[in-house]
């Protein structure tokens, strides 16, 4: 199905979708991308009483067969399989898609889904660049779709409490947050181009990205560390933390000043993205700042966290550990304050909003996909250009910097194009 056909179909069908749905019906979901995170999507939705996985989609035919067999063995039933996501959007029996593809597909897959009248759960980062993140927001609004961003921290009861406590002043005036991504990332080695495997539809895998000869340096997981498809660890694990930083500080805009430095220091391998990266996001009008740190190998933790956040206030600090835990330390003596460990169900929150059609029911609405992902993109642009940048959040453009503006959008490979008008 062409993107033009999707657009026309969505314009006509979206307002009518789910008008006659019974509360007893299950939301029928297809997962797009089943190599890694997609396995969690399948388990997450199959664990709900009011949703079910009815299909899986992946351009790797061998992987598709393997996951379908695993599904039948675990759940006792067959599911549909698709190699081309456009076939999913043609299927009128599908209510929603969950997107766990490589990053470069996230926004376009979500936009096409909105145009086809499907609701969307999209993995972080919601976008591969600033431009397409904004277009995803526009598509969700235009077609009245529920688009949930996979920032699970927002569904944690403990972290909801942590944010509420900071709003009430538990650590005083909160002026700075620090995001931590200290993940064990070994060398990915050096791999040369080779023939495309017979099982893989490489044209669909590449999608919006420019053509690059097939290599196992990027198919499957290691695309994260190449700019054509991924965004480094700040745009991988880091999105949970960029989102937490913004949520905790109460910030719903992009920063004005962005310096970012880093590099590759440990391995002589195929990675393009930095192994170590330090970014600052300064909000002078709000008098707030975000610090963000990526480390990939041997390192200490900070505040007891290796992946998480630290919020600094005039009366203490608050540490977020992982996805579901916070601790506070108050006063000059760092006395232990409120703390809690409690999770939540981000999949269930999405399905709740699909039934209610209320974006106010969402913990991770589409705007978080644009903002938290965009924060990572801004840091990466500063890193790649090697200088501090000034950004106009209202216009979503850099100030007097045509070179940086070019990096807000990518060159799309036809027919996999994110349009200016969705």
Q: What is the CATH number of the domain that holds 312?
A: 3.30.360.10
Identify whether the C-beta of residue 134 lies closer than 8 Å to the C-beta of residue 367. Answer: no
CA dist., res. 312 & res. 293, Å (int): 16
Residues 149 and 234 occupy one common structural domain: no
**Which pLDDT does position 25 carry in this prediction?**
87
Evaluate whether residue 80 is within a structural domain: yes
**Which pLDDT does position 11 carry in this prediction?**
41
Number of domains making up the chain: 2
Which of these, 259, 261, 273, 262, lies nearest to 103 by C-alpha position? 273
Evaluate whether residue 361 is within a structural domain: yes
**Which pLDDT does position 175 carry in this prediction?**
98
Residues 22 and 129 occupy one common structural domain: yes
Across 234-331, the runs of DSSP E, i.e. the strands, are 257-258, 260-263, 276-283, 288-295, 307-313, 316-321, 325-330
Q: Kindly give, in sequence order, each residue whose CB lies less than 8 Å from that of residue 118, ignoring residues fewer than 6 positions away.
A: 17, 89, 94, 95, 96, 97, 145
Residues 361 and 256 occupy one common structural domain: no
In CATH, what number is assigned to the domain containing residue 81? 3.40.50.720
Convert 43-80 to b/e letters by CB count within 10 Å (16 or more is b). ebbeebeebbbbbbbbbbeebbeebbeebeeeeeeebb
Residues 101 and 236 occupy one common structural domain: no
Cα-Cα-Cα-Cα torsion 298, 382, 311, 301, nearest 10 degrees, comes to 0
Q: At what angle do helices 157-167 and 238-249 cross, to 10 degrees?
A: 40
Residues 258 and 235 occupy one common structural domain: yes
Residues 162 and 109 occupy one common structural domain: no
**Which pLDDT does position 24 carry in this prediction?**
59
CA dist., res. 408 & res. 396, Å (int): 9
Identify whether the C-beta of residue 321 lies closer than 8 Å to the C-beta of residue 162. Answer: no
State the residue for tokens 């789910």.
18
Evaluate whether residue 231 is within a structural domain: yes
Evaluate whether residue 211 is within a structural domain: no
Evaluate whether residue 208 is within a structural domain: no
Residues 135 and 85 occupy one common structural domain: yes
Domain with 144 in it:
3-153+347-365
Q: Kindly give, in sequence order, each residue whose CB lies less than 8 Å from that of residue 357, ignoring residues fewer than 6 positions away.
A: 18, 144, 146
**Which pLDDT does position 23 carry in this prediction?**
54
- Average confidence score pLDDT of the chain: 94
Instruction: Tell me 214's DSSP state.
Output: -
**3-class secondary-structure state, position 166:** helix
Evaluate whether residue 107 is within a structural domain: yes
Which of these, 18, 19, 79, lies nearest to 46 by C-alpha position? 79
Residues 147 and 161 occupy one common structural domain: no
Residues 171 and 317 occupy one common structural domain: yes
**3-class secondary-structure state, position 25:** coil
Identify whether the C-beta of residue 243 lies closer than 8 Å to the C-beta of residue 234. Answer: no
**Which pLDDT does position 8 carry in this prediction?**
42
Residues 291 and 351 occupy one common structural domain: no
Evaluate whether residue 213 is within a structural domain: no
Residues 238 and 142 occupy one common structural domain: no
Reading the chain (422 residues) residue by residue, the pLDDT tens digits are 444 444 444 443 444 344 445 555 899 999 999 999 999 999 999 999 999 999 999 999 999 999 999 999 999 999 999 999 999 999 999 999 999 999 999 999 999 999 999 999 999 999 999 999 999 999 999 999 999 999 999 999 999 999 999 999 999 999 999 999 999 999 999 999 999 999 999 999 999 999 999 999 999 999 999 999 999 999 999 999 999 999 999 999 999 999 999 999 999 999 999 999 999 999 999 999 999 999 999 999 999 999 999 999 999 999 999 999 999 999 999 999 999 999 999 999 999 999 999 999 999 999 999 999 999 999 999 999 999 999 999 999 999 999 999 999 999 999 999 999 99
Evaluate whether residue 199 is within a structural domain: no
Q: Kindly give, in sequence order, each residue whose CB lies less than 8 Å from that of residue 292, ignoring residues fewer than 6 positions away.
A: 178, 179, 181, 234, 238, 241, 242, 245, 277, 278, 279, 280, 281, 379
How many Cβ atoms are within 10 Å of 376's Cβ, its own excluded?
A: 28
Identify whether the C-beta of residue 325 lies closer than 8 Å to the C-beta of residue 187. Answer: no
Residues 149 and 266 occupy one common structural domain: no
CA 291 to chain centre: 19
């Amino acid at each position: 199905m062409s993107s033009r056909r999707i657009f026309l179909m969505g314009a006509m069908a979206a307002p009518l979708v789910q008008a006659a749905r019974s509360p007893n019906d299950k939301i029928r979901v297809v997962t797009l991308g089943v190599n890694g995170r997609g396995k969690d999507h399948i388990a997450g939705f199959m664990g709900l009483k009011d949703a079910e996985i009815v299909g899986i989609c992946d351009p790797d035919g061998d992987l598709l067969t393997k996951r379908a067999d695993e599904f039948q063995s675990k759940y006792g039933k067959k599911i549909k399989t698709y190699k081309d996501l456009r076939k999913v959007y043609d299927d009128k029996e599908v209510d929603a898609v969950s997107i766990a593809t490589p990053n470069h597909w996230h926004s376009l897959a979500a936009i096409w889904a909105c145009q086809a009248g499907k609701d969307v759960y999209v993995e972080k980062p919601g976008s591969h660049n600033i431009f397409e993140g904004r277009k995803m927001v526009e598509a969700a609004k235009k077609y009245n779709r529920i688009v949930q961003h996979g920032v699970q921290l927002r569904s944690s009861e403990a972290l909801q409490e942590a944010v509420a406590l900071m709003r009430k002043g538990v650590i005083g005036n909160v002026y700075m947050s620090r995001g931590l991504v200290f993940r064990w990332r070994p060398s990915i080695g050096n791999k040369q181009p080779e023939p495309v495997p017979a099982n893989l539809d490489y044209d669909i895998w590449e999608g919006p990205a420019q053509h690059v000869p097939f290599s196992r340096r990027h198919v499957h997981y290691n695309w994260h560390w190449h700019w054509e498809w991924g965004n480094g660890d700040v745009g991988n694990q880091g999105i949970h933390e960029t989102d937490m930083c913004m949520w905790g500080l109460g910030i719903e805009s992009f920063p004005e000043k962005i310096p970012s430095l880093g590099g590759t220091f440990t391995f002589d391998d195929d990675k393009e993205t930095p192994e170590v990266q330090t970014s600052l996001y300064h909000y002078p009008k709000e008098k707030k700042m975000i610090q963000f740190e990526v480390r990939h190998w041997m390192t200490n933790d900070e505040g007891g966290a290796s992946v998480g956040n630290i919020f600094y206030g005039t009366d203490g600090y608050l540490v977020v550990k992982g996805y579901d835990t916070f601790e506070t330390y108050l006063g000059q003596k760092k006395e232990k304050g409120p703390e809690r460990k409690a999770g939540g169900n981000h999949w269930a929150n999405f399905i709740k909003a699909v039934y209610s059609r209320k974006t106010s029911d969402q913990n991770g609405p589409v705007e978080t996909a644009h903002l938290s992902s965009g924060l990572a993109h801004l840091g990466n642009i500063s890193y790649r250009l090697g200088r501090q940048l000034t950004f106009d959040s209202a216009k979503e453009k850099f100030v007097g910097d045509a070179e940086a503006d070019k990096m807000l959008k990518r060159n799309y490979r036809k027919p996999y194009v994110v349009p200016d008008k969705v």
